[in-house]
Amino acid sequence: MLRCLSLLAPRNYSQAANSLPPTPELTALATPEDHHEAKAWISKFKTQTIPKSLVELNFSRSSGPGGQNVNKVNTKVTLKCPLDSSWIPAWAHSHIKANPHYVSSSKSIQIQSTVFRSQSQNIDDCLSKLHDLVLSASSADIKNEPTQEQRKRVEFLERAEKARRRQDKSYRSEVKKNRSKRGWD
């Protein structure tokens, strides 16, 4: 009986791991330096994986097809992570709050996975979804500066548009002049 209760009890891995890059102390991305610092953090974060020790994992029985495996094994994984965790950048909080995975009553992110028949694969799936969520939310406000080539192309297109507009205006002007030059003898 005790073994069954331990399987149903939530597992809490709350010890902080140092595998993720430290987040910059930025609440908003206001200056180009802030953008640069945020981009540097994002490029480091992309290559990392979120360790289990930073989130709370709960396991339960999955629903749907799967026969005895579904009925007997706790393969469904529910991941819960507080929004105020030190590894989640502050400038991403507003985008995370707008995400459907955000639970406002507990101020946390909650993600579930029942995709796979094994618990470990569902854990990896939840961690991957959380990584993607934090990555997309943290890079949503990043503004990329256009390259020199892009700037030249935009200038060329603007000049072409001005020339086309000037030509259209002169054509319309000629049409109007021709209307007034009729002789009504």
- Give me the torsion for CA of 27, 25, 42, 86, rounded to 10°: -100
Q: Are residues 69 and 29 in the same domain?
A: yes
Render pLDDT for 9-20 as a digit per residue (tens, 0 to 9): 444 443 444 578
Range of the domain at 26: 2-138
DSSP per-residue string spanning 64-125: SS-THHHHHS--EEEEEEETT-TTS-GGGHHHHHTSTTEETTTTEEEEEE-SSSSHHHHHHH
Residues in the chain, how many?
A: 185
28 vs 98, residue with greater confidence: 98
Render pLDDT for 114-153 as a digit per residue (tens, 0 to 9): 888 888 999 999 999 999 999 999 988 887 778 899 999 9
Q: Are residues 175 and 118 in the same domain?
A: no
DSSP state of 147: P
pLDDT band with cut points at 50, 70 and 90 for residue 185? low
Q: Are residues 13 and 75 in the same domain?
A: yes
pLDDT over 50 (residue 34)? yes
CA distances from 29 to 90, 144, 182, 184 (A): 10, 12, 64, 69
Q: Are residues 56 and 117 in the same domain?
A: yes
CATH number of the domain within which 115 lies: 3.30.160.20
Which 3 state secondary structure label does DSSP give 153?
A: helix
Q: Are residues 72 and 119 in the same domain?
A: yes
Q: Which residue has the tokens 């192309």?
A: 153
Q: Which residue has the tokens 């908003």?
A: 28
Render pLDDT for 81-124 as a digit per residue (tens, 0 to 9): 999 888 999 889 999 999 999 999 999 999 999 888 888 999 99
Q: What pLDDT does residue 182 have?
A: 66
77 phi/psi in degrees, rounded to 5: -120, 130
130's enclosing H/E stretch is helix 119-138
Give the helix, strand, coil percentages of the chain, each rounded to 5. Answer: 50, 10, 40
Domain tally for the chain? Answer: 2
Q: Are residues 110 and 158 in the same domain?
A: no
Q: What pLDDT does residue 16 have?
A: 44
- Give how far the C-alpha of residue 141 lies from the chain's centroid of Cα atoms, to the nearest Å: 10
Nearest to 83 by CA among 103, 109, 57, 101: 109
Q: What pLDDT does residue 179 have?
A: 83
pTM comes to 0.69
